């Protein structure tokens, strides 16, 4: 059952129990009807399995007693330490905007944002050293927090878009004071009589990407409710983030994650590879976060071939992309032992649904390439690795680093420096279809955009995939202290060409794939 649930997660399908009934959340783009049929066939098994999640091994997450201060989770400790580095704090800023149309009541919306902040303690938390010199988290009252939403009416200005964009881009780069707070800033811009833009900026020590979706959803629920004089549209939260931090610490201390620890210790045993790409600059001794972002796309035809390949091979698009990226890295570096990172929601517990906080975990995907393998054979190996690794996603990355005694290197991330992400939902953009991007143009992103264009790099390379109007689009966020723009442009062209080639030759051995320079020349 655990394997089936992991399959659902990779297809962006999430299950939970509500009053003993099975609740199914699917992406807006839908899923394969066969998968829905499989869920229906296993309905009672799924209910039984989810009902028993809170067994002694998993443990119910219970509220802890009220205290003056609380310990940090492992993720919070890591972010706190990284935030002490130059530009380290702004690397964990999470800025974004929400466009709001005509059917909008300003006062109800502002009241709704306050309601979400009151609902989630993580948005009212600060981090300070206590008398013993240990960093702890302190939860502030609404009055102590001193949070206000700024409001600017630009509706009468000709340059309203530009003015809002300038404000947003300046704020996006401003660091948060983790000790004083608040760790959440917000502004409401009136652009036209029937159009508003809500800008927010949260720090990653208080929230993650899933938290942003929860915040947005709850703000809209409260706003609509307040507009209609309904003052309690959501049930009270059973727990808060501090309760999760305590639960996580207790499970680790009591060895309740022994199976998880053994899996990761075996996966990351022996000498771990270090990935250095050709044409790399000399690595700074202290980790830096200077970044740029380039983006391009695969053609509709290549995207379709990749989708069909993973469908008939059993698996999903994420597994296909991990396999392709690892084959590319092998051809690019000649390294056979490869580790890349990928984010996991870290919410594999029914009590964590609807929670705001830094729950996201990062898992390491390690594979060794045999050049004599075909792409199909290596894909099956990667598929197995991904499935097993996600079943152990609740074991904290920070504890893995401790367990394997990974040597400290102030210029690198522990275990891996390259991360791959596949966004969960497809976007349908008419302007994308008509923009000529189908030709495979490589664009420098974050320049000339209407709103947020903050570019920082947490890793050497982060490759981010998403489906846009049927095409696979990918961005590469790279550290400019390590790579020149031309290096990354050539890398992206080579990767795109390698995918085209492999999709026509999936049964050929990996060592017969032409070198990347040849592929680039052939395409040009």
Check: CB of residue 380 under 8 Å from CB of residue 331.
Answer: no
Identify whether 393 is part of a domain.
yes
pLDDT tier at 29, thresholds 50, 70, 90: low
Same domain (yes/no): 85, 38: no
Q: How does 375-404 read in b/e, with b if 16+ C-beta sit within 10 Å?
A: beebbbbbbebbbebbbbbbbbbbbbbeeb
Torsion of CA 348, 350, 353, 358, to 10 degrees: -40
pLDDT tier at 321, thresholds 50, 70, 90: very high
- Whether residue 58 is predicted with pLDDT greater than 70 in this model: the reply is no
Q: For the chain, state the CA radius of gyration.
A: 23
- Whether residue 329 is predicted with pLDDT greater than 90 in this model: the reply is yes
- Whether residue 335 is predicted with pLDDT greater than 70 in this model: the reply is yes
pLDDT at 117: 97
pLDDT at 15: 81
Bigger pLDDT: 302 vs 86: 302
* 227/106 Cα distance (integer angstroms): 10
Distances (CA, A) of 444 to 207, 417, 441, 453: 28, 22, 10, 11
Q: What is the mean pLDDT of residues 127-136?
A: 96
pLDDT tier at 63, thresholds 50, 70, 90: very high
Same domain (yes/no): 14, 99: no
Same domain (yes/no): 261, 230: no
pLDDT at 417: 95
Domain count, the chain: 3
pLDDT tier at 519, thresholds 50, 70, 90: low
Identify whether 210 is part of a domain.
yes
pLDDT tier at 46, thresholds 50, 70, 90: confident
Identify whether 381 is part of a domain.
yes
Q: How does 107-144 read in b/e, with b if 16+ C-beta sit within 10 Å?
A: ebbbbbbebbbebbbbbbbbbeeeeeeebbbbbbeeee
Beta strand pairing call for 14-18 and 21-25: antiparallel
Give the rounded percent of residues in the chain with a pLDDT score beyond 90: 69
pLDDT at 43: 79
For 377-395, the pLDDT digits (tens) are 999 999 999 999 998 988 9
For 425-459, the pLDDT digits (tens) are 666 554 445 444 555 788 887 643 445 555 789 99
pLDDT at 42: 76
pLDDT at 18: 65
Give the rounded percent of residues in the chain with a pLDDT score beyond 70: 89
pLDDT at 449: 44
- Give the closest residue to 197 by CA, choosing from 104, 94, 92: 104
Distances (CA, A) of 147 to 85, 90, 211, 215: 26, 20, 19, 16
Q: Is pTM, for the whole model, over 0.75?
A: yes
pLDDT at 36: 83
Check: CB of residue 326 under 8 Å from CB of residue 340.
Answer: yes
Q: Is the peptide bond before 182 cis (omega within 30 degrees of 0)?
A: yes
Same domain (yes/no): 137, 223: yes
pLDDT at 452: 53
Same domain (yes/no): 261, 399: yes
Distance separating the N- and C-terminal Cα atoms of the chain: 48
pLDDT at 431: 46
pLDDT at 189: 96
Q: What is the mean pLDDT of residues 462-478?
A: 93
Check: CB of residue 73 under 8 Å from CB of residue 244.
Answer: yes
* 144/165 Cα distance (integer angstroms): 30
Strands (E), 298-376: 337-344, 361-368
The DSSP code for 414 is S
Same domain (yes/no): 234, 267: no
Same domain (yes/no): 129, 223: yes
Check: CB of residue 165 under 8 Å from CB of residue 448.
Answer: no
Identify whether 276 is part of a domain.
no
pLDDT tier at 55, thresholds 50, 70, 90: very low
Parent domain of 42: 2-51
pLDDT tier at 35, thresholds 50, 70, 90: confident
Same domain (yes/no): 19, 89: no
pLDDT at 54: 43
pLDDT at 107: 93
* 27/40 Cα distance (integer angstroms): 17
Same domain (yes/no): 345, 239: no
* 32/7 Cα distance (integer angstroms): 12
343 DSSP β-pair partners: 362
Same domain (yes/no): 433, 484: yes
For 202-246, the pLDDT digits (tens) are 999 999 999 999 999 999 999 999 999 998 899 999 999 999 999
Residue 153, domain CATH: 3.30.559.10
Bigger pLDDT: 377 vs 514: 377
pLDDT tier at 482, thresholds 50, 70, 90: very high
Residue 518, domain CATH: 3.30.559.30
Identify whether 278 is part of a domain.
no
Identify whether 280 is part of a domain.
no
Same domain (yes/no): 386, 363: yes
Identify whether 399 is part of a domain.
yes
For 6-25, the pLDDT digits (tens) are 678 767 787 876 656 788 87
For the ranges 280-284, 395-399, 515-519, the one whose mean pLDDT is highest: 395-399
Same domain (yes/no): 303, 401: yes
- Give the closest residue to 81 by CA, choosing from 38, 135, 44: 135
Please state, as a whole number, how many other Cβ atoms lie within 10 Å of the Cβ of residue 290. Answer: 16
Q: Provide the token pair at 72.
A: 């940090």
pLDDT at 331: 94
- Give the closest residue to 312 by CA, choosing from 323, 300, 304: 304
Identify whether 68 is part of a domain.
no
For 67-79, the pLDDT digits (tens) are 999 999 999 999 9
pLDDT at 448: 39
* 184/493 Cα distance (integer angstroms): 39
């Amino acid at each position: 059952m655990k394997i089936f649930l992991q399959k659902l997660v990779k297809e962006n399908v999430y299950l939970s129990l509500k009053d003993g009934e099975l609740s199914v959340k699917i992406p807006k783009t839908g899923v394969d009807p066969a998968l829905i049929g499989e869920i229906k066939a296993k309905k009672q098994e799924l209910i039984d399995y989810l009902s028993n999640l809170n067994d002694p091994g998993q443990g119910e997450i219970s509220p802890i007693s009220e205290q003056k201060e609380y310990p940090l989770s492992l993720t919070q400790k890591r972010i706190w330490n990284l935030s002490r580095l130059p530009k380290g704090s702004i690397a964990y800023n999470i800025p974004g905007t929400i466009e709001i149309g005509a059917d909008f009541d300003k006062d109800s919306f502002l009241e709704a944002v306050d309601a979400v902040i009151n609902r989630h303690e993580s948005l009212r938390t600060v981090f300070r050293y206590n008398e013993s010199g240990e960093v702890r988290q302190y939860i502030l009252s609404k009055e102590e927090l001193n949070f206000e939403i700024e409001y600017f009416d630009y509706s009468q200005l000709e340059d309203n878009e530009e003015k809002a964009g300038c404000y947003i881009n300046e704020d996006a780069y401003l660091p948060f004071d983790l000790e004083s707070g608040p760790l959440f800033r917000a502004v409401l811009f009136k652009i036209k009589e029937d159009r508003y833009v809500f800008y927010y900026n949260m720090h990653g020590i208080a929230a993650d990407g899933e938290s942003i979706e929860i915040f947005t959803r709850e703000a809209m629920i409260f706003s609509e409710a307040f507009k209609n004089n309904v003052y309690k549209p959501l049930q009270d939260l059973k727990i808060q983030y501090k309760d999760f931090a305590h639960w996580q610490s207790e499970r680790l201390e009591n060895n309740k994650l022994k199976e998880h620890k053994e899996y990761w210790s075996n996966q990351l045993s022996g000498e771990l590879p270090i990935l250095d790409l050709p044409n790399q600059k000399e690595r700074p001794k202290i980790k830096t976060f200077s970044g740029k972002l380039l983006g391009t796309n695969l053609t509709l035809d290549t995207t379709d071939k990749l989708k069909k390949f993973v469908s008939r091979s059993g698996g999903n698009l994420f597994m296909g992309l991990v396999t392709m990226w690892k084959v590319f890295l092998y051809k690019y570096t000649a390294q056979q032992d490869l580790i890349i990172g990928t984010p996991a929601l870290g919410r594999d517990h029914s009590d964590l649904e609807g929670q705001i906080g830094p729950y996201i975990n990062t898992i390491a995907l390690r594979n060794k390439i045999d050049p004599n393998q075909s792409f199909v054979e290596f894909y099956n190996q990667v598929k197995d690795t991904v499935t097993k690794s996600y079943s152990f996603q609740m074991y904290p990355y920070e504890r893995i680093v401790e367990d394997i005694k990974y040597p400290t290197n102030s210029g690198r991330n522990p275990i891996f420096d390259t991360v791959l992400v596949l966004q969960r939902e497809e976007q349908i953009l008419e302007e994308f279809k008509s923009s000529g991007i189908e030709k495979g143009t490589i664009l420098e992103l974050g320049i000339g955009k209407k709103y947020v264009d903050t570019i920082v790099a947490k890793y050497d390379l982060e490759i981010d995939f998403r489906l846009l109007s049927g095409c696979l689009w990918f961005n590469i966020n790279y550290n400019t202290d390590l790579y020149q723009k031309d290096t990354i442009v050539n890398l992206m062209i080579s990767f795109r060409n390698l995918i085209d080639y492999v999709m026509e030759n999936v049964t050929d051995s990996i060592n017969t794939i032409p070198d990347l320079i040849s592929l680039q020349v052939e395409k040009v």
